[in-house]
Amino acid sequence: MRLTPFHTRTSELCDVYNWSLWCNWLLADMYAPDHIQEYFAIRTACAVFDVSPIPKYHIHGPDAVQFLNRIVTQDVLHCAVGQVLYTPWCDDDGKIMDDGILARLDGHSFRLTAGDPWLYWLEDNTVGLDVVIEDVTELGVLALQGPNSRHLLKTLTDTDLDQLRYFHILKTELAGIPVEVSRTGYTGDLGYEIWVEPPQAV
């Protein structure tokens, strides 16, 4: 069992002691006595939750685009730096294996998230290509979701978040901490995900 970079903080806040394992990472399922309070916080204000256990891979090298176009259904060639794509990937028979988001960090550098660990499968598909795949699942990620999420973030940074478009990512600082902020999430509302190196997570 592993602990996320935010565990020392979330463990203090999880008064209901409702925990579960996600890919062998210990994670709080909820903090309030029931889900209703947290649901309405997301729908009417904002809420933050730890999504660090999601498998994450840094894919980089001269053939990174060619490699990704080999495995995902989106055309990565048209993904601009700072853009994020939602994409599934399939087996040789066209059956969907998993899905995730793919962020282009610079010209030959990408970060892919997944529902389950896929490092072995990704590496199997690098044959003949100059590309490196690193498991960076230890990277801390907080989801800040809800209609007030932008207002809250703007109190922590001088970056103009009004210019951050849906499914895009940028580098900035929050309260002086270097982070990446992406306008992504799965709640169906305005939301962001904050990506931070483990030593600076708390």
Record the tokens describing residue 29, joined without a space. Answer: 């399922």
Same CATH fold assignment for domains 2-54+138-200 and 56-135: no
pLDDT in tens, the chain (202 residues): 999 999 999 989 888 888 899 889 999 888 888 889 889 989 999 999 999 999 999 999 999 999 999 999 999 999 999 999 999 999 889 899 999 999 999 999 999 999 999 999 999 999 999 999 999 999 999 999 999 999 999 999 999 999 999 999 999 999 999 999 999 998 887 999 999 999 999 8
- Looking at the whole model, is its pTM more than 0.85? yes
Residues 184 and 193 sit within 8 Å (Cβ to Cβ): yes
CATH number of 2-54+138-200: 3.30.1360.120
- Which CATH number does the domain 56-135 belong to among 3.40.630.30, 3.40.1010.20, 3.30.70.1400, 3.60.15.10? 3.30.70.1400
Residue pair 137/55 in contact by the 8 Å Cβ criterion: yes
- What are the distances in angstroms from CA 188 to CA 43, 54, 192? 9, 19, 11
Q: Are 75 and 69 in contact (CB under 8 A)?
A: yes
Q: Which of 70, 59, 57 is nearest to 127 (CA)?
A: 70
Indicate the domain borders of the chain.
2-54+138-200, 56-135
